[in-house]
Structure 1
Amino acid sequence: MDIVETINNALLYIDGFLGSAGYFPYLLIGVGVFFTLYLGFPQIRYFGQATRIVRGQYAKKDSPGDTSHFQALTTALSGTVGTGNIGGVALAIFIGGPAALFWMWVTAFFGMTTKFVEVTLSHKYREKTEDGTMAGGPMYYMEKKLNMKWLAVIFALATIISSIGSGNMPQINNIAQVMNTTFNIEEWVTGGVLAVLLALVIIGGIKRIAKVAEKIVPFMAVVYVIGALLVIGYNYENILPSFQAIFSSIFSGSAAVGGFLGASFAYAMDRGVNRGLFSNEAGQGSAAIAHSAAKGKEPASEGMVSLLEPFIDTIIICTLTGLVILSSGVWSEKHQNTFDRTDMEFVVGDYTDNNPEDVNKLMIHLDEKRSVPSEVKEYTGTISLQNGKAISDGFTLLNARSIAEDVVYKDKDGNPITGEIPVSNGTLEDSTIVVEGKSLIHSAELTAVAFTKGYMGESGKYVVSLGLLLFAFTTAIAWSYYGDRAAIYLFGPKSVLPYRIAFVALFFLGAIVDSTVVWTLAYVTVALMTIPNLIGILLLHKDMKNTVKDYWNNFKSSGAD
């Protein structure tokens, strides 16, 4: 086992106690349900008011803050609308099947209220820094109102780690992959060019970030939505079957289809909730940092603006991505690709996806939340090859949660291998061997293929490339701000420059490392922020209710902003 697999396995182990733990989906959705009932469905009642506020209808020039309501919204959206909308949705469907999309919707609906709460409280307890800019976020209400400095420190440290683990490396990794697939641009070239551009933007701080975001976010959303509608329209006859696939498997799990080996209810729910959180960040507390910079005297006013984010991000954009993938049918089809080591597993026996018994055994084996032991065993031994093709049997190669076909093994120079290669505990011992063949695909690559199954044909992948480039790049920009606010809270203003240098350097590194490891790191860091934040806002439920009550009293008397 090489260092990459060791790191990935260690991260998966940690994630088992955090985002992938059985309690996490219930905690995340439960907090949203509690506040939805406690505050009387604010995501519905305040939706219209939110749209009026974001248009500047009640704005006052003398309100304290650094950005307008619209700039704060687009900055926060630039942080949430990213790889989660393109690669994350594809990953959720790839693992959990169509039902995962339903659980993303559930997470978003109740997440609208959670976002409303965390942003309101963060705006209420924000502070002005030494350089005159605003700094806010969950760490400030944790310390100032809850008197829990230790929890604030945990959250701030998690924010810095998460800014790298979810807001930085997964973004450039997906960009680099798609740019390589679409335009044959080397990953290190994409990483280098965008790292320089990133540095130029974040040096200017929140005001420059907000100006960039308010121009790019609306443009990229329109382009992506139009492109998605062109694919869905082309496959219009599959729209209703796609919804049927989503709703028919909500509580039963997704059945095997084509190369897709099926997924249990627990797995579909877990991936849907996890990906929903990664997409809209409701409950994570990250967007609250951007909204804390918004001009306004009434915290609840900015909280109302923020509840629009999960609606735009997940209910609209993620749904369109999901329908593109489902209606095009590519999610259950095998495609020619180069296998990542962390996606591959050699198992004992000869399996086919035409045999229902084989499919059931493999589905149980691949389900990390299985309630029964797996009968499938990891393969250890040698594989005999002739011109890159296996001529020995007794094993099956699984790649990307599917049975691989037409597999070719090549050396590091791209030449087909003849001879024997050793396999230990389901993994190739020689990490330099390149393996190609047909299997399911996931993440941004799956979305890019889906976009070619419409009116645009092969040109559709350029919409994904452009969308991913803009979505993911602006996400990294926003997360650099989240991280530097956390650094200021922990270490003071002098820590901002070293943090930004490290952020840019790791952004470049993210372009060339294994994508599976990057996504696994993202799972861990998202949960490290979310759990302390959810605890904090639950403890402040009465404060939140009083803040909303004060807003409406002041609004009736003076048109509060």
Structure 2
Amino acid sequence: MKPPRVLCLLLLMLPLSAVAGVDAWIDDAMAPVTRALSALVFFEVPLFGARLPLVVLWLVAAALFFTLYFGFLNLRGLPHALRIVRGAYHDPEHTGEVTHFQALATAVSGTVGIGNIGGVAVAVSVGGPGAALWMIVAGLLGMSTKFVECTLGTLYRRENPDGSVSGGPMYYLERGFAEKGRAALGRWLGRFYALGIVIGCMGIGNMFQANQAYVQVVNVTGGFGGSWFGDKGWLFGLVLAALVALVIIGGIRSIARVTGKVVPFMALFYCAGALLILFMNREALPFAFHAMVDGAFNAPGMAGGALGVMVIGFQRAVFSNEAGIGSAAIAHSAVQTNDPVTEGYVSLLEPFIDTVIISTMTALVIITTLYYVPGFTEGMGGIEMTSRAFERNVAWSPYFIAVAGFLFAFSTMIAWSYYGLKGWTYLVGEGRAAEAGFKLVFCLFVVVGSSIQLGSILDFSDALVFLICVPNIIGLYLLAPVARRELARHDRKARRIAAERAPGSS
């Protein structure tokens, strides 16, 4: 533990100007590697006049396959999922560390982030209102992928001697492939996935979130030219790192307790604000719904027409809810249950909350504002678009968006710290020293993300996170029959319990 602590102290003692110089040097050094990886991961192919990123096609095709394979469980399973979240089937004596609701809250905190505020606005600005409809469709399809991931993550998780559990794609890749006689391949894919999630958590799940939270605070306190925080990113990072440390130091139980309170609050907080704006824009709602449907199937001014709009909507959805990435299965697998399918059902709610509800709220706010101020999105960044749309009705909305953005970023960071931790312990082994070292480094990266710009590093981690969807989806295809077997077993049990509870049963 001494070397990381010494390193941390030395870095914090460095002058900010020296750190800024390191920023430029790292960016220049990483740029060629990042460009090469991004070109591979986000390779685009021309299709009917549109350019389709293969990674998006890979994820959406899997979501469509699993939706059909499980007979539209993504829709018919929602009532059962709600019953499980409310406490049905919960038994504190079962293996695991958190309740179904806490596991869901932790996973939702990892997916609901800055992209729900800014990324959706960009998708609507570029692809038009029709992109929002395809985003919803992709979100509904992604629910099926989440079901398979989280069922398998819970089924193949490892029980540790101290009573904790470790699960996720690395475990079902290793153990599931071993059952199929491909043990060596499974171990290799599991390690590749674990390494990817460790690196990815430091970028997309940490530095990017810290930087965006800092930028929001600066913007609402006078901007970089007038805010007291304008040149104090390091101080903001230290405070944010301390808040993160207070949560993650206690492990998944502590994270789940916090997300169980923060996630419902932040979701209701943001949705209440969006509903207020939509109520004030109620005259424009018929226009918004018509524009979404018409734009989804008829977009003559868009490159690739309707297909181009579909690509943008699908891309925003898969980037937002991360269905197929496998990260959420790490959080869901910590649940207290001896029936893995119960958590598969619960995971259906995650893309529904993230994409179908929260992202759609943002899209409707943007589209209804376009009714009153056509073209208002031109020349603006994503979060700025959403902030301006809110501000048209309520003058103090930038503060509201800043608070929402901070909560979204903070919750994402604490969830991704757990994802990265489980990837790390998969690689180096379980132990207090390994966990403490990882958490210390994670908090250090919070300070780095708030203080300096590391565009190449962030782009590299972003590409790597989507690269690991390749082995994950391969594993899901291979193990889908296992998930369907577990589903049939659970459904028989559920019918038996329902019959026993029915009035008049003996």
TM-score of the superposed pair, with normalisation by structure 2: 0.83
Give the C-alpha shift of residue 255 in structure 1. Answer: 3.7
Alignment check: 8 A CA contact 1:86 1:443 kept: yes
**Superposed counterparts of 1:345-384, under 5 Å:** none
**Superposed counterparts of 1:19-38, under 5 Å:** 19=42, 21=44, 22-38=53-69
> 2: distance between equivalents of 1:38 and 1:230?
40
SS in 1 for 2:323: coil
List per-residue Cα deviations over 1:68-92 (Å, max 9, x = no partner): 0111111111111111211221232
**Superposed counterparts of 1:86-485, under 5 Å:** 86-147=117-178, 148-183=186-221, 184=227, 185-186=229-230, 187-250=233-296, 253=299, 255=301, 268-329=309-370, 332-333=375-376, 440-454=379-393, 456-457=394-395, 459-485=396-422
1:476 to 1:296, Cα distance in 2 relative to 1, 3 A: same
1:199 to 1:232, Cα distance in 2 relative to 1, 3 A: same
List per-residue Cα deviations over 1:215-260 (Å, max 9, x = no partner): 111111111111111222222233233333333333555748xxxx
List per-residue Cα deviations over 1:454-510 (Å, max 9, x = no partner): 2x22x1112211111111101100000011011111111242222212211112222
List per-residue Cα deviations over 1:85-124 (Å, max 9, x = no partner): 1122123234433333233212211101100110001100
SS in 2 for 1:145: helix
Letter in 1 for 2:406: L
Could you tell me which runs of 5 or more consecutive residues in structure 2 were left unpaired when the two chains were aligned: 1-23, 45-52, 179-185, 222-226, 501-506
Give the C-alpha shift of residue 212 in structure 1. Answer: 0.4
Identity across aligned pairs (percent)? 40
1:240 to 1:10, Cα distance in 2 relative to 1, 3 A: farther
Which entry has the higher C-alpha Rg, 1 or 2? 1
> 2: distance between equivalents of 1:84 and 1:198?
20
> 2: distance between equivalents of 1:201 and 1:331?
44
Alignment check: 8 A CA contact 2:199 2:461 kept: no
1:266 to 1:12, Cα distance in 2 relative to 1, 3 A: farther
1:247 to 1:526, Cα distance in 2 relative to 1, 3 A: farther
Q: Which among 27, 32, 40 is matched to residue 17 of structure 1?
A: 40
Give the C-alpha shift of residue 6 in structure 1. Answer: 7.5
Counterpart for residue 529 of structure 1: 468
> 1: distance between equivalents of 2:199 and 2:135?
24
| Greater than 6 Å deviation, 4+ residue runs | none
> By percentage of residues, which structure has more strand?
1
List per-residue Cα deviations over 1:351-403 (Å, max 9, x = no partner): xxxxxxxxxxxxxxxxxxxxxxxxxxxxxxxxxxxxxxxxxxxxxxxxxxxxx
Give the C-alpha shift of residue 533 in structure 1. Answer: 1.0
Alignment check: 8 A CA contact 1:18 1:527 kept: yes
> 1: distance between equivalents of 2:404 and 2:388?
14
Give the C-alpha shift of residue 515 in structure 1. Answer: 8.1
Letter in 1 for 2:351: P
Alignment check: 8 A CA contact 2:200 2:462 kept: no
> 1: distance between equivalents of 2:455 and 2:191?
29
Q: Which among 487, 493, 497 is matched to residue 436 of structure 2?
A: 497
Q: Which among 481, 486, 499 is matched to residue 547 of structure 1?
A: 486
Aligned-CA RMSD value: 2.4
> 2: distance between equivalents of 1:270 and 1:511?
32
Counterpart for residue 224 of structure 2: none
1:487 lines up with 2:424 in the alignment? yes
Give the C-alpha shift of residue 64 in structure 1. Answer: 1.1
Alignment check: 8 A CA contact 2:56 2:318 kept: no
Counterpart for residue 47 of structure 2: none
List per-residue Cα deviations over 1:49-73 (Å, max 9, x = no partner): 1000000022123111100011111
Alignment check: 8 A CA contact 1:173 1:515 kept: no
Counterpart for residue 401 of structure 1: none
> 1: distance between equivalents of 2:154 and 2:313?
29
SS in 2 for 1:57: coil
> 2: distance between equivalents of 1:475 and 1:215?
14
Alignment check: 8 A CA contact 2:133 2:313 kept: yes
> 2: distance between equivalents of 1:271 and 1:125?
35
> 2: distance between equivalents of 1:192 and 1:445?
26
Letter in 2 for 1:74: A
Give the C-alpha shift of residue 516 in structure 1. Answer: 6.0
List per-residue Cα deviations over 1:172-219 (Å, max 9, x = no partner): 121111111112333333322111111121111000000001011111
Letter in 2 for 1:136: G
1:481 to 1:41, Cα distance in 2 relative to 1, 3 A: same
1:62 to 1:554, Cα distance in 2 relative to 1, 3 A: same
1:253 to 1:16, Cα distance in 2 relative to 1, 3 A: farther
Letter in 1 for 2:133: F
1:331 to 1:518, Cα distance in 2 relative to 1, 3 A: farther
1:17 to 1:250, Cα distance in 2 relative to 1, 3 A: farther
Give the C-alpha shift of residue 274 in structure 1. Answer: 2.8
> 1: distance between equivalents of 2:304 and 2:270?
29
> 2: distance between equivalents of 1:27 and 1:194?
36
Give the C-alpha shift of residue 133 in structure 1. Answer: 0.8
> 1: distance between equivalents of 2:300 and 2:292?
8
Letter in 1 for 2:69: Y
Tell me the number of residue pairs that the alignment of Structure 1 and Structure 2 aligns. 448
SS in 2 for 1:131: coil
> 2: distance between equivalents of 1:547 and 1:166?
33
> 2: distance between equivalents of 1:88 and 1:20?
20
**Which fold has the larger relative contact order, with Cα–Cα distance below 8 Å and residues 6 or more apart in sequence?**
2
SS in 2 for 1:73: helix
Could you tell me which runs of 5 or more consecutive residues in structure 1 were left unpaired when the two chains were aligned: 257-261, 335-438
Give the C-alpha shift of residue 308 in structure 1. Answer: 0.4
1:273 to 1:513, Cα distance in 2 relative to 1, 3 A: farther
> 2: distance between equivalents of 1:19 and 1:491?
30
> 1: distance between equivalents of 2:374 and 2:198?
34
SS in 2 for 1:332: coil
